[in-house]
Structure 1
Amino acid sequence: MTDARPDAQPLKTEHVVVDGIEGNYARVELPDGTTADWLISTLPDGLKEGDVLAINDHGESIEIDRQETRRRQGKAREALEALNEGAPAGDISL
């Protein structure tokens, strides 16, 4: 969707990741790598740990970006599989 105003700039979207949920708060990882606690009541329903939230640059809308969540989970799974590829098979004895 485009804005009909000639001077309108396109909205920029930032992504934050839900790092954990504790009580009434969701701990989110911000784009700069820091974390913040946000009230769950201000976030979309059905929010889960690991979800990616898309926030427009005016903060007017926050929604769960399911496609970006799946993409990031896939990348993390691939990285884990690559790490485990060279791991020895069997149990480790200490």
Structure 2
Amino acid sequence: MAPEQQHEDPGISHITIDGIEEKVARVELPDGTTEDWRLSSLPKGVKEGDVVRIDVQGGDVDLEIDQQETDRRHALGQRQLDSLNAKAPDGDLDL
């Protein structure tokens, strides 16, 4: 289980939409592996980069786009990219 999920209910997990091609979404599971899921099995309007909250309670499964977690992960990714870019050399690269 990912560190950010250790504090959650055992019936709640998150997947990330890694890519969408036609009627198939490639999703990243909590353990980091990926699977192809039918786009129709995901919440309407889901797009690449969205985090989907999966809540399993008593055999019922509820999926919804977790906008807060999506925004948090996008901001974290942007901060990491900005940090890498700040350390990049200026000017032309010689290969």
Q: Distance in 1 between matches of 2:64 and 2:29?
A: 15
CA-based RMSD of the aligned residues comes to 1.6
Partner of 1:6: none
Q: Distance in 2 between matches of 1:22 and 1:34?
A: 18
Q: For residues 6-62 of structure 1, what are the alpha-carbon distances to aligned partners after superposition, in whole Å with 9 as ceiling and x for unaligned?
A: xxxx66310000000011110000001111111111111111100000001345110
Counterpart Cα distance in 1 of 2:56 and 2:86: 40
| 1:44-85 per-position Cα deviation (integer Å, ceiling 9, x unaligned) | 111110000000134511000000000000000001111111
Whole-angstrom distance in 2 between the partners of 1:79 and 1:69: 16
- Residue of structure 2 in register with 1:43 after alignment: 42
Q: Report the count of equivalent residues.
A: 85
Runs of 5+ consecutive residues of structure 2 not aligned to the other structure: 1-8
Runs of 4 or more above 4 Å deviation: none
Query: Which entry has the higher C-alpha Rg, 1 or 2?
Result: 1
TM-score (norm 2): 0.81
More strand as a share of residues? 2
* 2:63 matched residue in structure 1: 62
Indicate the percent of aligned positions where both proteins have the same amino acid.
51
Structure 1: runs of 5 or more not aligned: 1-9
| 1:55–1:49 Cα change, 3 Å | same
